Structure 1
Amino acid sequence: MGIEIELRRQNTVVRRSYEHGETLALALDTLVPPGQGRLSQIDPYRDTRFTESDAQAALPEVTALLRECTSPFQEAALRDLAEMLEACAATPGGCLWFIGD
């Protein structure tokens, strides 16, 4: 199980993150309460799409999760996620794709 992330604009991949897939999936599974917030909508088994506004709304959730990290690997995965969310929120017409296994 892993989650790859792609920032797309008009079906063109602008930026991608494949490095932390498994760690990110496990971090979201263990740290995010089911059904609460935008991050709980990310499905590790299917593709999930976030718009610019979804990305903006999820940023405070990632900040809160960083305080709960139990390993440097989780922290790196969540920091990468935060960077991708920030990039999406700053990209007009951008969307973030979470590609599940």
Structure 2
Amino acid sequence: MGIDLELHSGRPQRKGASRDTLLRSSHRHGEALASALSPLDRYGPGKLGWVDPYGDTLFNEQEAQVAREEAAALARECTDEREKAALLDLTEFLEACAATPGSYLWFVGD
């Protein structure tokens, strides 16, 4: 189980056309990111609990803006180095998404 990240300039399509909007991606922290987000409650406060490690989750720029604070706080508190690196990578993607009008961050689950 892992979660890959893809930043898109617009709403990505589920089929091959998603490459047309792809700005950047990260596949290096998939398992560590899934592990770092696994304790979060889907019904609790924050946005990152919404991320489905088995399916796909899409955040728009407004949701990314809210979630970046949450990811940064999780990274500061994290003691596992692999998970911390994954959360820092996620924070960068969320910041980029929040700063790019019309963009989406796609969490690609296994």
> Could you tell me the TM-score, scaled by structure 1's length?
0.93
User: Is 2:77 the partner of 1:68?
Assistant: yes
Q: Give the drift of 1:90.
A: 0.8
The CA deviation string for residues 55-99 of structure 1, in whole angstroms up to 9 with x for no partner, is: 000011112212321211111000000000000011111000000
Structure 2 matches for 1:67-86, cutoff 5 A?
67-86=76-95
Partners of 1:34 and 1:100 in 2: CA distance: 15
Percent identity between the aligned chains? Answer: 54
Structure 2 matches for 1:18-97, cutoff 5 A?
18-30=27-39, 32-36=40-44, 37-97=46-106
Tell me, which stretches of 5 or more residues in structure 1 are unaligned?
A: none
State the number of aligned residues: 100
Q: Give the drift of 1:33.
A: 3.4
The CA deviation string for residues 20-74 of structure 1, in whole angstroms up to 9 with x for no partner, is: 00000001003x2342210000000111000000000001111221232121111
Partners of 1:79 and 1:67 in 2: CA distance: 9
SS in 2 for 1:67: helix
Compare CA radii of gyration and give the structure with the larger one. 2
SS in 1 for 2:58: strand
Tell me, which stretches of 5 or more residues in structure 2 are unaligned?
A: 13-20
> Could you tell me the TM-score, scaled by structure 2's length?
0.85
Aligned match of 2:5: 5
Moved beyond 6 Å, runs of 4+: none
RMSD: 1.1
